[in-house]
Structure 1
Amino acid sequence: MDKKEQKVLLKLFRQGKAYEGFELIVNMMIENNKDEVVFKKLIELYDYFVHNKEGLVPYKLRDNINMNMAPEGVEYRQLGTMEHNICAALAHRMKGRK
């Protein structure tokens, strides 16, 4: 699998199009059926994704999760911002600072 195919596959999964991603992997398996090493890796990749397909759909696109909309003038940020602040606070506390 080259970088171009990886980007296409990642884009499909980020858009919540898991079954289109599975089709892309199957097509790659058909194209690479003569190369045994690549074919086995694609089979492992396909099996992993199929067994974990619920986790491939981003939480914002899941039907069973209802997200509240941000009030007018407020923007919700990604969780990484808060995670970093907590990590920094804990690191300072463990080192005896603050």
Structure 2
Amino acid sequence: MMTFHSKGILLTLAIVGCVMARSGNAAEEPALGTIVPEGEMTIFCQKAVAAKFEAQPEDISTDPPIRREGKLLVLGTVDSEDDDRDAGFDCRFEENGAYLGIIGAPSD
């Protein structure tokens, strides 16, 4: 039988493991299938692009979601260091708001 002290140690180790797993500067791209309300898709997309391509959120511009071929798309650009070429992308969502991923990539 596990004692209160043993449970406390296990909980402490679990918390330390979670903190260590997330220690690092890079944010994680959100999980595919995450349900996102339509009103939050633009900011969700900005954060996903920032995490995936290690871009600053202020360098990412997005438009409101549009419906196309049964999907919701958030179109946007990432400002590149070369001011003449901003890279385009789109975040894709199912009609129910399930996140499908990012199409396109910033050019280096």
Normalised to the residue count of structure 1, the TM-score between the two structures is 0.32
Question: Which of structures 1 and 2 has the larger relative contact order (alpha carbons within 8 angstroms, sep 6+)?
Answer: 1
Higher helix residue share:
1
For the pair shown, which has the larger CA radius of gyration, 1 or 2?
Answer: 1
Higher strand residue share:
2
Normalised to the residue count of structure 2, the TM-score between the two structures is 0.29
